[in-house]
Amino acid sequence: MIKRCIAGIVALAAVLTTSAQQTAHGFLMGDYDGRYGFVSFKTSSPCDFQITHRTTAYNYMPTAMEKVGNTLYASAVKYDAIGMLPQYGFGIIEPGTYKFKPIKMANDNDGDQRIADMTYDYTTHTMYALAEDKVSGDPSTKVTTTGLYIVDLNTGKLTKVGSIGQLTAIDGYARRVETILIALACNSRGELYAMSDLRQFYKVDKYTGKATQIGKQHRNVTYEYFQSMAFSPDDKLYFARARYCSVLDSVNISTGVPVAIDTLVAKDANVTGLYFDGKPYTGNHPRALLSLTATPDAASHHTVHLQWLLPTRTENGDPVGTISEVRVYRLGHETPIAVLPGNALEYTDEHCDDGLNTYEVQTVGAGGLSSPATAVVRHGYDQVQKVDTVICSNPDNGKFVTITWTRPTQTVHGGYADLTHVTYNVYRLKSDGYVQIAHNVADTVYKDTLDLPGKYMYVVEPEYGGVKGIGASNASIVTYIDAKVHEIPYNTGFEKTDDTDEWLIINDHTNATLGWGIGAQKSNSYKGRYAFAHSFGASNPLHDWLMSPALHMKAGEYTLSYMRKAQSWGKIAYKVMLGTAQRDTATYKTELQKVDGLKGSNKWEKVTTHVTIDTEGNYNIGFYATTKDFCDFFIDSVTVTPRTADGIQLHNSGRVVTTVIYDLNGRQLNENNLSALKPGLYMVVTTDERGQRAVRKFTRK
């Protein structure tokens, strides 16, 4: 323990001054030894960890704490009878006894949001919190998506400032995923900073809630448990980081990189509610406005009337004195929408936002800004409810799809929207995403033109006054469109940049997991994406098709090759067929290859067969899976090329009637399949329907 303390102090020398011997406080929310309680430690030697008041897992547990003057505020959770960790309440922790004096207890209707961390802004006399946006049905020690909120210290009510934005980061599996803010702190200049669960540091705007990343993603392990940040009185930022054992970090706010000082306590520790004593607080600022109300105008859809009473006392109870001005904020906007004289008692906002409007009003006195007063009102244009019905028709399985719907009849929140002048946005969805195909459609019908075959879904979204409503979708519709004709040589790897969408899959199963599909798992991949057939055994044998787009082929001989891999606990069976109409399986009459009894080796191998075309035209290659055993069968890199012998293309003026193959000794062979020959030189004699003979030399390599 002593060696670890010394090492921590040496490492800290680069980031702390020798005089910075600050005492930090927090709450130990359990460790490997099952300890809970209030703790304190020196920031220069966090390994000298002291539990100042021991509690148990059955007591309330603060997830966030902040001291304002001599008052210690806390938001706490408490285990319930089934081991979940819901919100317990917001209140004051009494000094000495550590009893929880509730300001607002959680209940079924309000106050159930858990607070991940909170911090007091001494420049605006406002308590800010990172609170979970939604109340979880099974709350655990892990934090869910948070937003920035204002906490009313008199009532415990949370007022949301705004959305932090869509924050993403790279997780441990190299995936870009959502990241959430888990720790919050405010410095003496009134600047808010936050840390995310995926190791990214942000500056947060206190009037919009928007988070802006600082620096790059750091590499220090961070769990998504309750944890905390706080500025010391000398404005150094500390982070009680949760991992397999909690660590105290010093954070550089210019780069966002936390530097570990030392571990806080034993294995699996979790320290929350970090705060410091000694921050200057006089309480001579005005109290919050009295009776702030926000009333929507009855005639104007974007006008809100605000009214209030001015405070007469400061927070410490003295007369407030002269109020020099009143500042009105509509949260979501970085600056005040109005700065009024100190005697103002009302204000009319003629340009409110659509939907929820949150107003924050503060006075300015000799002691600075007052505590905030907030009011929330819904006004402006309301969201339109989803359209009643969406119907898609594609009667000829062609490239035209008609989408029709009925007009919506109400709004989401019962607010205003002229339902007779609603317009519509139409989106087309496929497996790889969606695209908006129409905007500002006035009618209740739209005709879409498709270029590629496949399965499509459409979403119709109403809109009024620039406010998008709730989208409604139809069941997916399958369309069969004649794909474009490809010339020889032809190849595809089933990549997104290939003609994969032009290949047609017809599976004969109600279970969508069976039959053919397109996959991209690295463990199965040959070169990126691939086609695969999945069978679940004799109870669901395969009778499924994978068909190529049309290939224009002149009379002659061609080589079809593809890569194949099989995974099986039984035997794999399939046929390669030649057809003349992609979606008509009855036209696939020519068998090019038949495989029956193939056992899986889980290795990619090249397969080659040959195609003889008697009449120039457009043809399709069909892979017809007939497996009855449990298996996965993969194909990739399908190519069709002209077949050559010593560089001479084989073709006939008429339909071939007979083919005879001779070796160099003039001996006629029984084999008439060129692909089955052993390597060597052969003579091939063909006779067409007019009796004309052709002799060709053929080298089998």
Give pLDDT tens digits for 375-413: 999 999 999 999 988 888 876 566 788 999 999 999 999
Residue 56 has pLDDT above 70, yes or no: yes
CB atoms inside a 10 Å sphere around CB 601: 11
3-class state of residue 44 by DSSP: coil
655 has a pLDDT exceeding 60: no
Nearest-CA neighbor of 490 among 638, 634, 618?
Answer: 638
Superfamily assignment of 486-642 in CATH? Galactose-binding domain-like (2.60.120.260)
Residue 429: per-residue pLDDT: 83
Q: What is the pLDDT of residues 530-589, one digit of tens each?
A: 999 988 877 788 899 999 999 999 999 999 999 999 887 778 899 999 999 888 899 999
pLDDT for position 17: 42
Separation of alpha carbons 456 and 411, rounded Å = 28
Q: What value, to the nearest 5°, has the Cα angle with vertex 656 and ends 652 and 658?
A: 130
Instruction: Quickly list DSSP for 294-316.
Output: EEE-SS-TT-EEEEEE---BBTT
pLDDT for the residue 18: 38
Q: 258-267, 484-493, 560-569: which range is least confident on average?
A: 258-267
Q: What is the C-alpha separation between 85 and 83, in angstroms, rounded?
A: 7
Tokens matching residue 135: 């109340």
Lookup: tokens for 650: 């084989």
Sheet containing strand 126-132, edge to edge, reads 115-121, 126-132, 146-151, 158-162
Phi, psi (5° rounding) for residue 674? -60, -35
Return d(Cα 357, Cα 332) in angstroms, integer.
Answer: 9
b/e map 496-514, b = 16+ CB within 10 Å: eeebbbbbbbbbebeeeeb
What is the separation of C-alpha 417 from the centre of its chain, rounded to a whole number of angstroms?
31
Does 264 have pLDDT greater than 90? no
- pLDDT surpasses 70 at 76: yes
Name the CATH superfamily for 390-479.
Answer: Immunoglobulins (2.60.40.10)
With H, G, I as helix, E, B as strand and everything else as coil, classify residue 436. Answer: strand
**Run of H or E residues at 580:** none
Averaged over 100-114, what is the pLDDT? 82
Q: Structural domain boundaries of the chain?
A: 2-15+24-276, 290-379, 390-479, 486-642, 645-700
Average pLDDT value for the chain:
86
Whether 649 has a pLDDT exceeding 70, the answer reads: no
Residue 8's pLDDT is what? Answer: 39
Lowest model confidence (mean pLDDT) among 69-83, 498-512, 604-618: 498-512
Q: Binning pLDDT at 50, 70 and 90, where does residue 12 land?
A: very low
CATH of domain 290-379: 2.60.40.10
pLDDT (0 to 100) of residue 48: 74
Q: Mean of the pLDDT values across residues 403-425?
A: 93
| Count of helices and strands (H, E) across the chain | 1, 58
Output 264 or 615, whichever has higher pLDDT. 615
Nearest to 486 by CA among 545, 579, 548: 548
**Residues 214 and 201 sit within 8 Å (Cβ to Cβ):** yes
Residue type, 633: F
What b/e sequence results for 87-116 when a residue is b if at least 16 CB atoms lie within 10 Å of its CB, and e otherwise?
bbbbbebeeeebebeebbebeeeebbbbbb
What secondary structure letter does DSSP report for 485? P
Nearest Cα to Cα of residue 583 among 542, 616, 550: 550
Class of domain 2-15+24-276: mainly beta
In angstroms, the CA 277 to CA 95 distance is 13
pLDDT, tens digit, 9 for 90 and up, residues 598-634: 887 888 999 999 899 989 999 999 999 998 888 888 9
Q: Helix (H, G, I), strand (E, B), or coil: what is residue 123?
A: coil
The more confidently predicted of residues 653 and 60 is 60
Whether 257 shows a pLDDT value over 80: the answer reads: yes
Percent of residues, the chain, with pLDDT higher than 70: 86
Per-residue CA distances from 37 to 63, 118, 225, 277, 596 (Å):
12, 19, 17, 18, 70
Between 239 and 680, residue with greater pLDDT: 239
What number is the average pLDDT over the span 458-472? Answer: 93
Decide if 2-15+24-276 and 486-642 have a common fold.
no
Return the pLDDT at 664. Answer: 67
Confidence bin at 239 (pLDDT 50/70/90):
very high
* Residue whose entry in the numeric block shows the structure tokens 């390597």: 679
